[in-house]
Structure 1
Amino acid sequence: MGRIFKNIVVQPGKLRDFLYESFVALTKTVLMCGTALALGVMPGPSRGNLWPIFNPQVYGPEISTYITDPYTFLHYEDGIIAYLLWGWWGWTDPPFTTPFKLSPMEKAIWDDFGGLLLGLIAGYLFEVAENSDYVINEVRANHGTSQFYQGDSRLNSFVDILALGIGYSMTKVCFEYGLGWFPVLWLVISETISFLTFRDNLLLSLIQLIHPMEWIKNYQEGLVPDHLKDVMRVGYWNNKLRDSPNEFLNKLMHSPKAQNKFATYSREHLHLTFSFLDKRCLI
């Protein structure tokens, strides 16, 4: 019984440390990303949208243009994975010990700053790669909800890297206080919830990028409303060029295949489809 009460007393201290480390990660990340944003080197084809702060929709031209979206949670997972890969290199106690011969000062620097900095740099390079033509075309061709994807906005990229930094910090604090199981459990639960809700996660994204599977694409497509699903099937999946929504609409409206496809649709249904796309052409 005494041990239980002892653990209860320690909890506020763990919470304070967690909040402190999260604040440190937030500060370091904001400084790094803010500098990159100010210098104009933050990746992304556009600034993005400030409101709403969170956009739950994962289909349509507005994908990854708002500050946060469901994929922000996956970047939080990236922070957990980053710590599991190299964050513990400064450790001197079990269960992990550093694989390198580091001086006490080097271990302290790595533990306090180096590991997080490496994670933020990795996140930044990932955002650069994610906004490349090759990755954008692969995502549009193989993800069931991303046929209008045009890359992450600069604001979205900023917050994605921020989420990685906070995920890294949370994992660091948990391991320091004997709660290393928590971020691992979080990772498993987050992957599962993401799979069931917006039908994507780190594992599915990796599979679709390396070895695309049709059943995954079809499963993801189930989230797309019918009035957009047929638009995508008309030819957008096979379009390897990064047409803007306006350009795609022009092609669609003059395509015999599209006209045959939509021949059975009512005028109201078609108006809903085109108005949905047209309102998002300015993103």
Structure 2
Amino acid sequence: MIERPTRIGVQLAPQHTSMQATIDAARRLEEMGADVVFGWDHFFPLSGDPDGVHFEATAQLAAWAAATERIQLGALVFCNSYRNPDLLADITRTIDHISGGRFIFGIGGGWFERDYEEYGYDFGTVGSRLRSLGESLPRIRARWARLNPPPMGPMPILIGGKGEQKTLPMVAEHADIWHSFVGPDDLPHKLDVLRAACEARGRDIAEIEISNGASVRDGVGGVGFERLDALHAAGTRLLTIPLSGDDTPDGYALDRVQAFLDWRDRKNGD
């Protein structure tokens, strides 16, 4: 049985702020002791002014990799549809080298229709996007193996989603981290499905880190950490807080993160 520490990630949405502000926030999170800083892979804001300031994922992550020293980083998650899979393998290998081996490769099937329409990608269906993801993952892994030099670090693969027919089998086949927003009541069932998929492939589900989305509402205003406690009890070990560049007049509400770090430390017995 693999004993995993509890970890806290922060997703800095690259919207409604400057690039320098995202870099400064990533550095500050590293100083605070967060475990992972995530971006996202969209071309337009998902909240606030839909035509507001926004930045592209891969270049932003390269900037974070150069500006930090210890914190892991990645996208939560790359959209498989937006780049040739062999090219994405090369891009992420390169960012991994910039970071000194700290990169997490997060990927999913894609869902934000405006990105597809305005950038000329075929939106297709949920099924077609997931089929494409299933075809891309072996290509990405094969390209990593052929690249000279290969990735520096273990380049853990994070797959996002909760579908039982396609996504969870892909997690069992390829992923080191499974990320979802499944609540504590439904998570045990999903884990049973994932466990069966792992067993069918000769894997132990313990090899996969269970990741979930936190909320800035957790632990704020007297709400407490009951939901996170329940997710933790079910096996979740990576919890990620979403922040946006317009959370406050000064930008990212990084002060909200400390309560989560304190909760993590209590879980880890520090």
Structure whose residues are more often helix by fraction: 1
Larger radius of gyration: 1
Same fold (TM over 0.5): no
Place the TM-score, normalised by the shorter chain, in its bin.
Answer: under 0.3
Name the structure, 1 or 2, with higher relative contact order (CA <8 Å, separation 6+). Answer: 1
